[in-house]
C-alpha cells in the first residue's frame, strides 16, 4: 500500500481553492450576462423612444409629450452609461477571477505531479524490493540444488 502523500492536506486545500474559484467565476459570468442583457433591453428601449420622438415630430407637435419622451430618453442614456460602467467592471472582475483560477489550477497541478512522482517512486522501490527478493529466492534455490548435487548419495 502506498504511504500517505505528505502534502495531501495542502493538495486538498488547493483543490478546494480551485473549486471555489470556479464557482466564483461562474457567478461573475452570470452577473456579467445579467448586465449585458439589461444593457441590451435598455438599447432596445432607447431605439423605441427615438422612433416615438421621430413620429411625434412628423405630425402635430405635442410639446409636453415630446418633452416627456426626451426626458425619458435622457434617463435611458444615463442608465446606459451606468450599465456600461458596470459591464466594464464586471468584465474586469471576470478576467481577474479567470487569472486567479488558472493560477490555482497550476498550483494544484504542481502538487498532483509531486503526488504522482511520490507514487511512482514508491512503486519503483517496491518493484526493486520484489526483484531482490526474487533474486534471493533463485540464489537460495540454486545453492540448495548445487548442495544436493554435490552431496554424496549414499
Q: What is the DSSP string of the chain?
A: -PPPPTTHHHHHHHHHHHHHHHHHHHHHHHHHHHHHHHHHHHHHHHHHHHHHHHHHHHSS--HHHHHHHHHHHHHHHHHHHHHHHHHHHHHHHHHHHHHHHHHHHHHHHHHHHHHHHHHHHHHHHHHHHHHHHHHHHHHHHHHHHHHHHHSPP-
pLDDT at 153: 62
pLDDT in tens, 11-56: 999 999 999 999 999 999 999 999 999 999 999 999 999 999 998 8
Mean pLDDT, the chain, integer: 94
Phi, psi of 5 (to 5 degrees): -70, 125
Residue 94 and residue 16: Cα distance in Å, rounded?
A: 19
C-alpha 68, offset from chain centre: 48
Cell of 20: 471555489
pLDDT in tens, 70-94: 999 999 999 999 999 999 999 999 9
- Rounded percentage of the chain residues whose pLDDT exceeds 70: 98
Cell of 64: 409636453
Amino acid at each position: 500500500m502506498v504511504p500517505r502523500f505528505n502534502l495531501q492536506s495542502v493538495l486538498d486545500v488547493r483543490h478546494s481553492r480551485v473549486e471555489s474559484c470556479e464557482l466564483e467565476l461562474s457567478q461573475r459570468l452570470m452577473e456579467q450576462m445579467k448586465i449585458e442583457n439589461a444593457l441590451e433591453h435598455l438599447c432596445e428601449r432607447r431605439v423605441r423612444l427615438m422612433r416615438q420622438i421621430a413620429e411625434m415630430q412628423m405630425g402635430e407637435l405635442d410639446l409636453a409629450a415630446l418633452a416627456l419622451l426626451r426626458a425619458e430618453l435622457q434617463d435611458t442614456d444615463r442608465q446606459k452609461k451606468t450599465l456600461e460602467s458596470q459591464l466594464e467592471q464586471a468584465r474586469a472582475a471576470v478576467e481577474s477571477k479567470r487569472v486567479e483560477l488558472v493560477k490555482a489550477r497550476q498550483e494544484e497541478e504542481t502538487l498532483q505531479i509531486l503526488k504522482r512522482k511520490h507514487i511512482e517512486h514508491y512503486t519503483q522501490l517496491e518493484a526493486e524490493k520484489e526483484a531482490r527478493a526474487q533474486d534471493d529466492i533463485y540464489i537460495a534455490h540454486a545453492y540448495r540444488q548445487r548442495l544436493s548435487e554435490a552431496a554424496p548419495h549414499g
